[in-house]
Amino acid sequence: MGEAIWAEVLKARRSRLPWLTVLAFTVATGVGGLFMFILQDPDRARAMGLLGAKAQLAGGAADWPGYFALLTQTIAVGGALIFGVIVIWTFGREFSDHTVKDLLALPTSRTTIVAAKYTVTAIWCLALTTQTYLLGLAVGAALRLPGWTTAVAAEALAHLMATAVLAVLLVTTLGLAASVGRGYLAAIGVMFLTVFLAQVIAVLGYGHLFPWSVPAIYSQIGGTDHPTVGPIGYSLVVAVAAASVTATVVWWHTADHTQ
């Protein structure tokens, strides 16, 4: 397993994608900070041209709990999209670059190759989440947000990580889609389909039972109006991940690799 992880890390390090994902979450954290800055004093923001004269701000509080909530929601949304792109790239590039054939008849098993890919993408996503948290601490401190307590910060970290884990579990579907679709396109289609369905089903009030809505509902992105996610919802997320990883391994083993 160590060799396969080393190989995946080397491939990732030499690509631009790690930097692009770091940039994406840096910008998202910064935008969250900007939102806090505006909320702190809307009149100051209007005077600085950051807010339209007639813009009305609703919801959100310019304090640490509010900022942490915003960051958690960023991870929920980013998890569906940016984490998804990471997994799609990790699997899809082998087909787009036609390198998959070099991974199929090796002393390293196909199961190990797939496991290494999922492991590295999970670590990558959790590292981005950690980055978001740490950068958020710096931005919040710079803004002198009120309401800081160690308990609030610890709870926020746990909430943020739990949201990321839920998102990481769900994007395993995209590894399967990129494998079966033998490239990026089908998996990108699946990603947008799940994001769309997650929105629609959450609006209909069944999001707590639809796995792809669970991270957003857990992060309270739509407020507290939605039914809370219960054991069934979490179990479904885990089931989706287990089924996706298993199906990916089975597919790598049994499909005819003609590409």
Binding residues (CB under 8 A) for another protein: these are 3-4, 6-7, 10-11, 14-15, 97-99, 101-110, 252-254, 256-258
State which residue, 44 or 253, has the beta carbon closest to another protein: 253
Residue 239 tokens read as 């089931």
How many angstroms separate the Cα of 259 from the Cα of each of 37, 106, 143? Answer: 52, 17, 53
Name the maximum alpha-carbon separation found in the chain: 65
How many angstroms separate the Cα of 50 from the Cα of each of 38, 39, 46, 157? Answer: 7, 11, 6, 29
Please give the Cα distance from 60 to 100 (Å, whole number).
47
CB of 4 to another protein, least distance (A): 7
State which residue, 225 or 256, has the beta carbon closest to another protein: 256
CB of 93 to another protein, least distance (A): 8
CB of 78 to another protein, least distance (A): 24
CB of 26 to another protein, least distance (A): 22
CB of 23 to another protein, least distance (A): 18
CB 256, CB 232: distance < 8 Å: no
State which residue, 235 or 259, has the beta carbon closest to another protein: 259
> Distance between terminal CA atoms of the chain?
25
Please give the Cα distance from 6 to 217 (Å, whole number).
35
* Burial of residue 255 (number of CB atoms within 10 Å: 0-12, 13-18, 19+): exposed
State which residue, 6 or 196, has the beta carbon closest to another protein: 6
CB of 103 to another protein, least distance (A): 7
CB 75, CB 164: distance < 8 Å: yes
State which residue, 124 or 252, has the beta carbon closest to another protein: 252
State which residue, 103 or 164, has the beta carbon closest to another protein: 103
Tokens 């098993």 belong to 109
Report the run of H or E that residue 11 belongs to, with start and end.
helix 2-13
